[in-house]
Amino acid sequence: MSSPYSRIREGMDVVDLAGDTIGVVHLVHGAETMENVGHGDEGVARDMEAMRAGKGATGHIEVQRPGHDLFIPFSVVNEVLGDRVVIAVDREAIDGLGWDRAPRTA
């Protein structure tokens, strides 16, 4: 079975929990380690506790938006619903999170 992250595709809208638009998925980066984490069509929200414990997906979504791109970590993806990726961070809080810099890779 595939994880919810495998459904994230280029061109999907990225929104916050209130439905406010953040931007559009440009690329998806990273590997998934979904041991002990739910699979199939379940929402990503059910996996959040496992991800915070280091048992979930790693990687990020490169999101295009006016001004500059964002590099949003999988750990804040709340749900993948249809053609939308919902993140668990309010749109107004994003600028202070350092997501305007690409993560370092090992």
pTM: 0.75
> Considering its fold, how many domains does the chain have in total?
1
Give a yes or no: residue 105 inside a domain: no
What does the alpha-carbon distance between residue 60 and residue 31 come to, in Å, rounded to a whole number? 9
Radius of gyration of the chain (CA): 13
Rounded CA separation 70/44 (Å): 20
Q: Answer whether residue 90 shows pLDDT above 50.
A: yes
Query: What pLDDT sits at residue 61?
Result: 94
SS3 content of the chain, % helix, strand, coil (to 5): 20, 30, 50
CB 3, CB 32: distance < 8 Å:
yes
Q: Which domain holds residue 11?
A: 4-94
80: CATH: 2.30.30.240
Q: Is residue 46 part of a domain?
A: yes
Give the pLDDT confidence of 33-56 residue by residue, as tens digits. 444 344 444 545 545 554 554 445
Q: Are strands 84-87 and 13-15 parallel, antiparallel or unpaired?
A: parallel
